[in-house]
Amino acid sequence: MLDACADLVDEIGYEGLTTTLLAERAEVAIGSVYQFFPDKRAIVQALALRNMDAYLQRLSARFSNEVFAYWWDGVDAAIDEYIAMHRAVPGFRTLHFGDVVDVHLLDEEQDNNAVIADRLADLLVERFMLGDRARLKFALQIAVEASDALIKLAFRRAQHGDESVLIEAKALIREYLHRHVS
């Protein structure tokens, strides 16, 4: 059902999504949809959580398999994975981590981008033994917000992301983080 949801969101957007359309696309009875999800928001929340898990798994795999000379190379990898998911993961370009539905879709206490910044801080602290986690988390929250906005701009400008905007986004984020976290 989540795969069907992702495809539908790409085709018709969140506003056009209905549980009836989802049931038809997933080739299940409407009762089966309601057995697992009370409404379309819950379905999209499950998809957003799956996207976040996939993103963090992809990023963890890169952190395990690649050698990064500096911590900001890990940030570049995080941006690269976010861009790759925009290009390849059904539903991601429209939903991202659920902010289209609710900025608190992933966590009631923090907004979606803060959740991502927090998880990224965990990875960076673990991998690079960075000391001031609070300062890093604050800087990452700003960096995630800025990179999210710029990546969305790149994908509004071009189907697969305007490469010039993506290059500038990475340069801006790297410079900002280098100045505030070093």
Mean pLDDT of 51-56: 89
- pTM, two decimal places: 0.85
**CA 182 to CA 21: how far, in whole Å?**
50
At the second CATH level, the architecture of 46-181 is Orthogonal Bundle (1.10)
Torsion of CA 83, 87, 89, 94, to 10 degrees: 80
Phi/psi at 177 (5° precision): -65, -40
- Mean of all residue pLDDT scores within the chain: 89
Tens digits of residue pLDDT in 18-34: 999 999 999 999 999 99
Where do the domains of the chain lie? 46-181
Tens digits of residue pLDDT in 103-132: 766 777 888 888 888 888 888 888 888 777
DSSP 8-state code for residue 103: T
**Residue 20: closest CA among 64, 173, 37:** 37
Whether the predicted pLDDT of 182 surpasses 70: no
The Cα-based distances of 104 to 84, 99, 109, 110, 124 in angstroms read: 24, 7, 7, 6, 23
Mean pLDDT of 82-95: 91
Mean pLDDT of 2-10: 94
